[in-house]
Amino acid sequence: MRGVSESRWISIRLADGGYYTVFRRGDWSSQKLLLIPASENQDEADIEFYLHAPEVSRPLRIGMIKFADLPAADVELSLEAEITFEGALSVTVRHEASGRVENLKMRLPEVGVQGPKFEQGSRPRAVMRWLLGVLYVAIGLAIAFWLLGLVSEWGEQELPPPISLAAIELSIV
């Protein structure tokens, strides 16, 4: 049983309180599930998504789709889920008979996430942010030194001596 919980990554919560695994660690293919309500004449379905991280003792609730006003009979919901290379969970739930669609798209938390190559998409952005930060600091320093140079030239002007020095020089002579 320990191996199953370690490989589980994203799941939905079932009516009995258990979890059904949608994605396992290392499995990045799109998933399609057929959901049916837990009881007859159920008028609403709350589909909750959980992240299972090794560092956390309890699964983290990361999102929910509410599918309200379900028809009384013949309720089958089609769930399609995928994890994008940007690290987002994208879910679509459809009720084929009525044509209703509910969507959820959210960025997965960083806790325990070791995706297929999430660093590839974020690496150029991180490098660009770093370069822009360095450029911003360099421009700020250049402006500060330029202003310092302007202000320091004020002290290089020759000013007449203070009156007290002129009075002392007259009394000595």
Phi, psi of 39 (to 5 degrees): -135, 160
Domain boundaries, the chain: 2-116, 120-172
The pLDDT tens digits of the residues spanning 97-120 come to: 788 888 889 888 765 444 434 444
153 secondary structure, DSSP code: G
The kind and range of the H/E element at 139 are helix 118-152
The class level of CATH for 2-116 reads mainly beta
Residues in the chain: 173
Q: Quote the CA–CA distance of 133 and 29 in Å, as a whole number.
A: 37
Mind listing the pLDDT tens digit for each residue in 128-148? Answer: 888 999 999 999 999 999 988
Model pLDDT for residues 58-107, shown as the tens digit of each residue: 888 888 888 887 776 777 888 899 988 777 888 998 888 788 888 889 88
3-state helix, strand, coil in the chain (%, to 5): 30, 35, 35
DSSP state, 161?
Answer: P
